[in-house]
């Protein structure tokens, strides 16, 4: 029995692969293996002989099975080590972690602003980004000599030679949406018009393409007092603190009277803090809709009046989240979003569902 033990333990130790190992298993402990055949002889032995031979054969079988299992694990480990040395991809490693997607700050702020004005009863209106000269300028009481109509400020669409149609432009504001909305629905109306606009400008606070939101409310007895209330309610909700506003007389072709609107703030430590301090920061233009604009949209100025306002979505996003350069929204590595804490919001979006 010792001879049998030494024989198979030596052969198992020298086995070069799992095929050879399986052959040895069959030869030793298979149904017709040498150890199995000797165990069949136990029935022919006397009880005294069985008491001696039986435990020895069981121990031998267990020892051979343990040696087979150990050798099989060793061969498997060796095969894996060889694969790891020869293959460039280790499939046993866990996958790289995937980062959760984020909402771009402009999209996030657009959703926030829309939700706030929706609570005040404003519907969302949209229009084309390529506009006719009439909707972009004439209907808004902007005269032909106004600087905004110059090619140095506005992107005009190319025309083939002999094409005498009126000029088309990349809209310079979302005000044309106000005209189109009043043409379609008349008065009374209460809308906001968010969207992309285009102007030939580029510096720390200007980009050729940016985002604007305008508001329009038309009824029979709307006044500047209603405008001031709406804006203060908006800024308080948007910045999460009570925000006072200051109106300064100004001039816009499409409103009369017109006002620049400042919000209360402080400039401390190189940062702007909205809603506190004794300083003021200009954030938007506004006023009562000019009678000529109402007429252009088919609304009788003798019966209806209202206010309009417009602000840059990108700029109020910069204020709220402390982003110093407007160009960072469009030409920077998107990893900077994490620096400013932007992540998916579980809030309703314009397009339905959650903004994940």
Mean pLDDT by 10 residues, the chain (356 residues): 76 84 82 77 76 77 85 86 76 75 80 94 95 92 78 81 85 94 95 92 73 95 95 94 93 94 86 86 95 95 96 89 73 60 49 41
Q: Say if residue 261 is exposed, middle or buried (CB neighbours under 10 Å; 0-12, 13-18, 19+).
A: buried
Q: d(Cα 226, Cα 233) in Å, to the nearest integer?
A: 11
Residue that is written with structure tokens 């029979």 in the block: 220
SS3 content of the chain, % helix, strand, coil (to 5): 40, 25, 35
Q: What is the pLDDT of residue 337?
A: 62
Peptide bond preceding 353 in cis form (omega within 30 of 0)? no
- CB contact set of 215 (below 8 Å; sequence gap of 6+): 117, 122, 191, 192, 193, 230, 307, 308, 309, 310
User: What is the three-class DSSP state of 138?
Assistant: helix
Q: What is the pLDDT of residue 345?
A: 44
Which string of DSSP letters, residue by residue, matches 157-213?
A: PP--TT--SPPEEE-SSSHHHHHHHHHHH-SSEEEEEEEEEE-S--BTTB-SEEEEE
- C-alpha to C-alpha distances, 196 to 210, 283, 349, nearest whole angstrom: 6, 18, 18
| Beta-bridge partners for 286 | 259, 309
Pairing of β 279-289 and β 271-274:
unpaired
Q: d(Cα 323, Cα 14) in Å, to the nearest integer?
A: 70
Closest to 124 in 3D by CA, of 137, 115, 133, 134: 115
Q: d(Cα 233, Cα 113) in Å, to the nearest integer?
A: 12
Q: What is the pLDDT of residue 232?
A: 95
């Amino acid at each position: 029995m010792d001879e049998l033990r030494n024989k198979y333990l030596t052969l198992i130790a020298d086995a070069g692969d799992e095929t050879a190992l399986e052959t040895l298993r069959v030869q030793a402990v298979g149904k017709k293996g040498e150890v199995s055949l000797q165990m069949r002889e136990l029935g022919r032995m006397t009880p005294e002989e069985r008491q001696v031979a039986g435990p020895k054969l069981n121990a031998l079988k267990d020892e051979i099975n343990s040696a087979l299992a150990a050798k099989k694990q060793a061969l498997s480990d060796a095969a894996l080590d060889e694969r790891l040395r020869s293959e460039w991809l280790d499939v046993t490693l866990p996958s790289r972690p995937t980062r959760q997607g984020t909402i771009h700050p402009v999209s996030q702020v657009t959703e926030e602003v829309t939700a706030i004005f929706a609570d005040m009863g404003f519907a969302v209106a949209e229009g084309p980004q390529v506009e006719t000269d009439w909707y972009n300028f004439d209907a808004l009481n902007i005269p032909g000599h106004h600087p905004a109509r110059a090619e140095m400020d506005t992107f005009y669409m190319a025309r083939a030679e002999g094409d005498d149609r009126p000029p088309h432009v990349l809209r310079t504001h979302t005000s044309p949406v106000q005209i189109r909305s009043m043409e379609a629905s008349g008065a009374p109306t209460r809308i906001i018009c968010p969207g992309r606009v285009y102007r030939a400008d580029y510096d720390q606070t200007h980009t050729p393409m940016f985002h604007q939101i305008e508001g329009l409310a038309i009824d029979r007895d709307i006044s500047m007092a209603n405008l001031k209330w709406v804006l203060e309610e908006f800024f308080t909700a948007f910045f999460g603190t009570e925000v006072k506003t200051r109106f300064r007389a100004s001039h816009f072709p499409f409103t009369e009277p017109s006002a620049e609107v400042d919000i209360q703030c402080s400039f401390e430590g190189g940062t702007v803090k909205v809603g506190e301090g004794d300083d003021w920061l200009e954030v938007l233009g506004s006023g009562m809709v000019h009678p000529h604009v109402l007429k252009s949209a088919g609304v009788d100025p003798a019966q209806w009046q209202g206010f309009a306002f417009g602000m840059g979505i990108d700029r109020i996003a910069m204020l709220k989240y402390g982003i110093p350069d407007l160009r960072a929204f469009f030409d920077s590595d998107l990893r900077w979003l994490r620096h400013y804490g932007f992540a998916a919001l579980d809030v309703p979006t314009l397009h339905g569902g959650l903004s994940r």
